[in-house]
């Protein structure tokens, strides 16, 4: 199975835990990024090295200048970008699979203890104490089973505080990787255009190779500047701008999902804390019983005692 096939397999698994924003992120990566790279990207950049010509007859100089112009092939760069940006999600799937396996193991062990001590209190045994520690470590006391939408329909997933923590961590890692690859993409275009800022995001028709003047004892060392000609620069620039826009969109979706998930977690945590405060307040200050007319029973009792006196 290819690397893209593995990503597709793990993407189907992570869809169960994903939010609607995450579904959009996967659609952008598979349809608008991976599909375009495999179908159009290789066609645009497939003959890039063969038609790259420099105005020199020195052996090896043409190859040396092309290595300077394109340190890495663009489709290969985008392939690395897709794989590394999907890597946090793949790691999250491994973690959740391990967590679910440990939960099932603990449930089976607890079932065996119940059958073993069927006529006695099994909760006071050392075996159950060890299992109880494992349950607290995994956060099983706060375990929730939620029904989510999946490609094949409805699916049930297990949520614990640890799984929620790993989900947030994988979103942070995904966003950071998106930003890192956008920056690396900028460095790659800066190498080709020899410009900085927004001016770096274009593909020149003419590339002036200064490798010979900068480095001695190389193939191009006889000339300080050698003009080289790039094939189909406008076509490559359109492809470059498209992939840049998709990268920015992917980073924005990752950031929006991270903010959305953190907001939901904080809102739910506030609701839980508020409910606990109300419960604690009600326990510390018990309500005084009221009569039918709304007066306190203690006040009426004091009035009756005054009349008797």
Tens-digit pLDDT string for the chain (309 aa): 555 566 666 666 677 777 888 888 988 988 889 889 888 888 888 878 788 888 888 888 888 888 888 888 899 999 999 989 988 988 888 888 887 777 777 777 777 777 666 666 666 667 667 766 666 666 655 556 555 555 555 556 677 778 888 899 999 999 999 999 999 999 999 988 888 888 889 888 999 988 766 666 567 777 778 899 988 889 999 999 999 999 999 999 999 999 999 998 888 878 877 877 887 777 776 544 544 444 444 444 444 444 444
Report d(CA 96, CA 65) in Å as an integer: 48
DSSP-assigned letter for residue 52: -
89 neighbors 170 (Cβ within 8 angstroms): yes
E strands within the chain? Answer: 53-54, 144-150, 153-159, 206-209, 226-229
11 within some domain:
yes
For 28-58, b/e burial (b = at least 16 CB within 10 A) is bbbebbbeebeeebeebbeebeeebebebeb
Q: Give the residue from 30, 1, 10, 154 showing the smallest Cα distance to 92.
A: 10
What is the structure's pLDDT at 81?
A: 93
305 within some domain:
no
What is the structure's pLDDT at 181?
A: 95
What is the structure's pLDDT at 99?
A: 78
Q: Give the residue from 168, 237, 201 showing the smallest Cα distance to 17.
A: 168
E strands within 139-253? Answer: 144-150, 153-159, 206-209, 226-229
Give the CA count within 13 Å in the CB-facing half-sphere of 175.
14
307 within some domain:
no
Q: Which helix (H) or strand (E) holds 198?
A: none
Total domain count for the chain? Answer: 1
308 within some domain:
no
146 within some domain:
yes
132 within some domain:
yes
- Phi and psi, residue 287, nearest 5°: -70, 140
Helix axes 161-193, 61-69, angle to 10 degrees: 140
Report d(CA 61, CA 1) in Å as an integer: 39
- Other Cβ atoms within 10 Å of 215 Cβ, number: 13
State which residues form the domain around 13. Answer: 3-295
Report d(CA 183, CA 189) in Å as an integer: 10
The tokens for 134 are 């494992």
pTM of the model: 0.76
Burial of 219 (0-12, 13-18, 19+ CB in 10 A): middle
CATH at residue 14:
1.20.1440.80
309 within some domain:
no
């Amino acid at each position: 199975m290819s690397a893209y096939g593995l990503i597709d397999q793990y993407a189907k698994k992570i869809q169960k835990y994903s939010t609607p924003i995450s579904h959009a992120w996967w659609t952008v990566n598979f349809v608008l990024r991976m599909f375009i790279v495999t179908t159009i990207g290789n066609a645009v950049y497939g003959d890039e090295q063969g038609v790259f010509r420099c105005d020199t007859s020195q052996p090896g100089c043409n190859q040396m200048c092309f290595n300077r112009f394109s340190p890495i092939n663009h489709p290969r760069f985008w392939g690395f970008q897709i794989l590394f940006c999907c890597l946090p999600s793949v790691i999250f799937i491994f973690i959740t699979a391990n967590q679910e396996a440990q939960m099932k193991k603990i449930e089976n062990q607890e079932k065996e203890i119940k059958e073993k001590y069927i006529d006695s209190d099994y909760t006071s045994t050392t075996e159950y104490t060890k299992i109880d520690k494992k349950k607290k470590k995994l956060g099983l006391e706060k375990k929730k089973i939620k029904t989510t939408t999946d490609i094949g329909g409805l699916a049930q997933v297990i949520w614990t505080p640890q799984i929620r923590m790993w989900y947030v961590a994988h979103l942070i890692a995904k966003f950071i990787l998106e930003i890192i690859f956008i920056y690396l993409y900028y460095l790659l275009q800066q190498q080709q255009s020899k410009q900085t800022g927004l001016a770096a995001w274009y593909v020149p028709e003419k590339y002036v190779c200064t490798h010979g003047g900068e480095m001695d004892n190389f193939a191009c060392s006889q000339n300080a500047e050698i003009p080289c000609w790039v094939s189909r620069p406008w076509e490559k620039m359109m492809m470059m701008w498209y992939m840049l826009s998709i990268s920015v969109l992917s980073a924005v979706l990752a950031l929006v999902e991270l903010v959305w998930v953190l907001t939901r977690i904080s809102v739910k945590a506030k609701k839980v804390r508020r409910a606990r405060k109300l419960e604690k307040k009600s326990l510390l200050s018990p309500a005084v019983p009221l009569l039918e007319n709304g007066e306190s029973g203690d006040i009426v009792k004091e009035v009756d005692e005054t009349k008797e006196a």
